[in-house]
Amino acid sequence: MNVSKILIGSDHAGLRLKNEIISHLADMDIDVVDVGTYTADSCNYPDYARALCKKIQSGEYGMGILICGTGIGMSMAANKHNGIRAACCSDTYSARMTRMHNNANVLCMGERVVGVGLACDIAEAFLSTEYQGGRHDIRVNMLAEIEAENQ
């Protein structure tokens, strides 16, 4: 695994899957910091996307995982943050490719979409794959240009 510490967050609809992923990654000696939510009470996914993305923006952490019912709301919220490249994945191929080509720094998944085993495989694929750089740099830099144009 390339990373030794990551952030994780969820809303109520992603809580169970989040807890499964936390124990799976802890078994792999990855330090996982949970930004919440911590209970099954209904809550709003943008709050947890914001909490996690701010810690990546500050440089404290390089990568994170966000889970909601579908993974879609979390990815939409995360991608509103400068410097965050969030990918909603429900297969391992996409998880590897979004690291290699998009230098994604946040993985989003849906508890109502993927089972625990697949979600853990997707997380492992994401966390163990390096960005390829090279010809992809120009395109990833263009994402930052779009952010700058929309300030």
The residues assigned a catalytic role are 68, 101
Q: Does 56 bind ligand RB5 (CB under 6 A)?
A: no
What b/e sequence results for 129-151 when a residue is b if at least 16 CB atoms lie within 10 Å of its CB, and e otherwise?
A: bebeeeeeeeeeeeeeeeeeeee
CA distance 67 to 104: 15
Contacts of 51 by beta carbon, 8 Å cutoff, 6+ apart: 9, 35, 36
Q: Phi first, then psi: what are they for 6, rounded to 5°?
A: -140, 165
Q: Of the two residues 13 and 87, which places its CB atom closer to ligand RB5 in the complex? A: 13
Report if residue 45 touches ligand RB5, rule: CB under 6 A. yes
* Rounded least distance, CB 15 to ligand RB5, Å: 10
* 68 sits near ligand RB5 (criterion: CB under 6 A): yes
Select the span of 48-56, 66-74, 121-129, 132-140 touching ligand RB5 (CB under 6 A). Answer: 66-74
- Binding flag, residue 72, ligand RB5 (CB under 6 A): yes
- Residues of this chain that interact with ligand RB5 (CB under 6 A) are 11, 13, 45, 68-70, 72-73
